[in-house]
Amino acid sequence: MSNTPLAPDPSESEPGPDGTNSLPPLLRRPDPVPAPVSLSQLRGVRKALLDNPRCSLDEPAANAITAGAVDPLRLRALVEVNGKGEQTVNLLTAKPIIDGTLFVTGTHARYLDLDVLPDFINQRWAHLLRTPMDVTPPTNPVPMYETLQAGTDDAERPLAVLTVRMRDRKALAQAVTESMRHTHQAQGGENDYTDSVLQQGVKEPLTLIVVRIVYDDNSTDTYLVAGDGNSRIVSMWLARTGGDIDAAAAACVASVIGPTDRVGERRPADQRAARRRVEEMASRVRRGLAEPEPTEATRREGHTLAFPAIVVVGAQDEHGNPLPDLVAARDDLLANLHVRVTPWAEGAQNTQGMQRVYRHALGDGLISQNIYDVVSGRVGPQGMHELLGLPPHRLWSAGVHQYAVLAGPRAAKMNRLIRQEFGMGKADRQRISERLAPMALSAYRSSEGIEQSLRAFGNGGTITDTVWKTPWALSFGNNPLHVLDDILKRALAGNSDAIAELTVLGGTAAIVDGYITRDRGSKEGIVRDARSAPFRATPTKLLTTLSSTAGGLCMLHSIARAHVAADPTTLPKQFHTQQRNLEGVLVQDGDPVMDQAGVQKTIDYEWDLVYAADPAEAEATIAMNRATANASGQGGGQDRPAEDVLQRRALDQGITGVLKAAQALALLSTTRGREVFGSPETVETLSERLRRIERILTQYGPVSTALLANEDEDEETDENPDEHEAHGGEG
């Protein structure tokens, strides 16, 4: 095999799929790769692998590992145990993890097309995926890894094999396709190795883990799935198919999974056909390399036909017994191999870390299996209610996350797990809230302004002293509104448990709905307005102040109630937070704030909540800022437009912007295809939001009397069929 590097030659660049010279200069010729040997010739390799005492595999797993080896003799030498007693030589490599050791093969070459899939449960975008708890849950449930248990019911033992339940082969293909698209989008130029693959192939070995797919009909398939190196797997398929991610995903599914319109596992004929395709490709590459200059096809197939890899084949705990939790071991291995040295999004790293914290907490008995099922995103609101007895609303999902980490005697041990996971000497409010934010708010990933909510939650969030340092629990119930009313009643009576619970639920609702922010535009000011506040206060300090007064508790309750009601006509109400004499009227802490028409005022802005939390500090800060502005000649003084004028202006500007964006994307679609609008799910979500605006305008806007005069009498008496939908929308 020739490993001689070639000097870059720009003239060698060939036309890409878009007609441009996009093929990068060749730095290294592909190596000629032999055709895969017949399965009958792999029996010795499979037996050597299964006989190794460090391995914990079954026959299907061993078949998948040996079937795709480019050089079976080398693989056999790497997994076979030589010698006896003190002279025993075992070449499997030990990889230390928190609870034991993983054993992996040495580096060997594998065919890309034979039983190798990208990681379809990749963690890079876990912080972006919607969960069943979301108001717009995913069409397909997010797949979850588990540890495969082998043997009989009386003598089951965990294997070094992960298992995933899938509806059918089509669902697996969809998961792989979405994984590759997400990986391609998440790369954003950071970890796209397509050009590197075309120039010189893959240099560093990829880490593969055996995964058993169990379909709903209980048939199974076994694959090797990328752990570390998933971006390189996707980049290899991109390199082979000309850089088009949809073509790459389709090629991967067709080559590795095979026909998806059949029920049940792969057939031997499918696997034989896959090996024939690899044999034909290897033959084409060898013929192409005999030419003076390799063609584009030779370069694409030659550099993507095979790649170096190591495979996890064994997992043992500290006592040499089979490791019971391969999922946590996998996460720990990949965190050290890849995540912490790669510029992934901070939200992705925090999500992964907290997922591992939850798994360790489950193993240590700090949380129950039912709580784990909720915090891991496996169930929706009704499932949470059935498991835990909590109200079936996603606000309580955020509460469960905070309860699991912060409440009661478990808090100190959970703190230790977080410090261990993230390598921190100290885990204070700021550090914990930053790590917890993407998980606690995972039910709100489809919400507008979720990034602002994550910033606020990550700035201390709801972690007041009462929440963190006193025992509390979440109240059971069927009706969320009734449960909130009961919590308020107990909180006003001085129950610290209820005060903590209301701080968590009301504070989370306030953060999600934008009444508590950490937005850089939320500055001190002298005018009541959006994106401003009379004085600065972190979310924790603000909630501490609010939870110490009856009026503050009433406002948190009102915010949570409005959030749960999700009715555009329901807004949270203002309450007085201290005894005051207002124009001769004595008001008490907890009294409603009334306007001149005798109607209770609503909380429209963050300004209102901050002002009510501490009116004295608010007025003092406003007076100081006004004096400063007047002294500098920037006092302004012009009258502020009426609130309805401002909101109509904002509505008009927003719709104008939306229309311009839609027209621009429509124009782009004529040259770049309909995919410029995003996925079908994204388009449907946008359409539903537009329909929601239309329903609100229709129901609450003025009606033309001329139109009514022309309508039939029967139509005038009909109930509005959209009434339920308008009230069921997001607040």
The pLDDT tens digits of the residues spanning 491-511 come to: 999 999 999 999 999 999 999
Please enumerate in sequence order all residues whose Cβ is within 8 A of that of 229, keeping only pairs 6 or more positions apart, or say none: 204, 205, 206, 207, 309, 338
Asked if residue 113 lies in contact with residue 285, where contact means CB atoms within 8 angstroms, the answer is no
Residue 562, domain member (yes or no) = yes
Cα-based distances in Å from 81 to 163, 319, 320: 28, 21, 17
| pLDDT at 645 exceeding the cut of 80 | no
The residue out of 309, 340, 371 marking a domain boundary is 340
| Helices 230-240 and 169-187, axial angle in degrees (round to 10) | 100
For residue 437, is it left (φ>0), alpha (ψ between -120 and 50) or beta? alpha
Once rounded to an integer, what is the mean pLDDT over residues 627-644?
64
Q: Is residue 681 part of a domain?
A: no
- Considering the domain architecture, whether residues 252 and 199 belong to the same structural domain is answered as yes
Pair (379, 397) in one structural domain: yes
- Do 150 and 56 fall into the same domain? yes
pLDDT, one tens digit per residue, over 433-487 is 999 999 999 999 999 889 999 999 999 999 999 999 899 999 999 999 999 999 9
Which among 274, 309, 340 is the end of a domain? 340
User: How many Cα atoms are found within 13 Å in the side-chain-facing hemisphere of 259?
Assistant: 12
- Does one domain contain both 278 and 359? no
pLDDT digits (tens, 9 = 90+) for 91-148: 999 999 877 999 999 999 999 999 999 998 766 677 777 889 998 887 766 778 889 9
User: How far is the C-alpha of 501 from the C-alpha of 403, rounded, in Å?
Assistant: 9
- Which runs of E-coded beta strand occur in 79-134? 93-97, 100-104, 108-111, 116-117
Residues 109 and 250 in one domain: yes
| Residue 635 pLDDT grade (very low, low, confident, very high; cuts 50, 70, 90) | low
Give yes or no for residue 527 having a pLDDT over 70.
Answer: yes
* Same-domain pairing of 305 and 365: no
> For residue 568, is pLDDT > 50?
yes
The Cα angle at residue 104 between residues 318 and 360, in degrees rounded to 5? 45
372 and 246 assigned to the same domain: no
Mean of the per-residue pLDDT values of the chain: 85
Range of the structural domain that residue 248 is part of:
33-83+90-340
187 falls within a domain: yes
Same-domain pairing of 444 and 583: yes
User: What is the pLDDT, as a whole number, of residue 262?
Assistant: 87
pLDDT of residue 228: 84
Residue 3 confidence (pLDDT): 39
Q: How high is the pLDDT of residue 717? A: 35
Is residue 214 domain-shared with residue 309, that is, in the same domain?
yes
Residue 723 lies in a domain: yes
- Are 582 and 717 found together in one domain? no
Q: Long-range pairs for 367-370 at CB < 8 Å and ≥24 separation?
A: 367/404, 367/410
Give percent of the chain above pLDDT 70.
Answer: 87
Q: Domain tally for the chain?
A: 3
